[in-house]
Amino acid sequence: MLSWPHICSKLEEDRMWRLLPFAIIWSLWLHKNDIIFQGKTVDVVQLLFSVKTRAAWWWKALSADSIIYIDSLIRNPSLASSNVAAYPSPPVNVVWVPPLCGFLKFNVDGACSKEVLLAEILAIKIAVERFVNSPWVIRSRLIVESDSKSAVGWISNPSVANPLFRQLVESICSFFTDGRWFIRHIRREQNGKADSLAKAGID
Tens digit of each residue's pLDDT (9 = 90 or more) over 100-136: 788 889 998 877 666 788 889 999 999 999 998 999 8
CA dihedral sign, ordered 111, 117, 122, 124:
positive
Rg of the Cα atoms in the chain: 19
Q: Which CATH superfamily is domain 103-199 in?
A: Ribonuclease H-like superfamily/Ribonuclease H (3.30.420.10)
Tens digit of each residue's pLDDT (9 = 90 or more) over 137-169: 888 888 899 988 889 888 888 888 888 888 999
Q: pTM of the full predicted structure?
A: 0.54
What are the domain boundaries of the chain?
4-85, 103-199
What CA dihedral angle connects 150, 111, 190 and 88, to 10 degrees? -80
Tens digit of each residue's pLDDT (9 = 90 or more) over 10-42: 554 577 888 889 999 999 999 999 999 989 898
Residue 86 has pLDDT above 50, yes or no: no
